[in-house]
Structure 1
Amino acid sequence: MSGELFNPEGVTFKPISMKLITVRILGLLVWTVVLALAIGVFAGAMMFTQGVSWFWLLEIVPIGLLVWQLWLIPRQVKAWGYAESERDLFLRRGIMFKKMWAIPYGRMQFVDVQQGPIDRIFGIAQVSMKTASMESAASIPGLDRDEADRLRKILTARGESLRAGL
């Protein structure tokens, strides 16, 4: 029964680009190296000044986090989905803690497309939607560039046509 809650009848969800896995892993590797270097400098300083050598064991922390994230990131990306219906845009994500949004086109105030330098290299972008409510902002990461552009145009057009009837 819980599967029906996140799979509304008549709605077919599209996955986001699997390129987002690579982008997120690259970011993770950068932070892992920075953390490992910081721990190494701290451990070296402690060994030099205090003669304490067990601080090198702290290097296990970034390695453990890296392994956990390498397992988790692909699952998170595969859990993302979006669907366009006649009156709403549906977004869903989550593995253990699932979340789904249904955003009426007529409530959208603006649609934003974002793309960082690594995103540009991999040809992906993020589409963000804002509504009148401060609590209702949503985004779809990891869209192919052409799909992000298409979605921005469609959401803007649908939002304007449905808002005109208010």
Structure 2
Amino acid sequence: MATYYQARVSADELAQSREDSEKEAKKQAARIAIWSENGDGDFPVVRIMNRSPDPVTSIIAGIIFEKVLSDGRRKETGMYVLPLPSLSPCSVISFTPTNLWYRINGEKGGRVYAFSRRSRWDVAIHAIGFADANGVDWVRTPLGLAAADSREGSTWARAFDADSVRILGLKQQPIRSTASGCDNGETLS
């Protein structure tokens, strides 16, 4: 009987240890966010925020742009991917569609396109992938945060393998600001 209770206590301690380890692993990843909001005029603003005291790297933001037609209907223009090398600690970057160019993956000739300043645009955030200070890859979607090697994370990554994905680039440096609610204490790694 004592052996059964010892085994049960050991199993509970192991489960608690795993849960604590998962929370610690997600500590920095939980402080990374992406969202869009109304900006000035007809252009939404996309913001990517790092509220941790460590940089994140290998960022890939998945964004869906919708052109707002004159009758109010929306025309989805497809999936766009913005790769960024890194995001500084305790920072937010902001940009509008007018600060972006894009090319279509797999299109011959490498033609570069821009979002029309004469059109109204809406933005839907698909997901953001990034590597934390420990080199662990993460994916945040509207449904939550997952390790990139999990089933949820790998499904998200496959969405970018399509030939029709549009690769974004910044025309000029995004607007940078300091993230509120940032822990400026010790690094998390």
TM-score normalised by the chain length of structure 2: 0.25
Higher strand share: 2
Task: Say which one has the larger Rg.
Answer: 1
Q: Which structure is higher in RCO with an 8 Å CA cutoff and minimum separation 6?
A: 2
TM-score normalised by the chain length of structure 1: 0.27
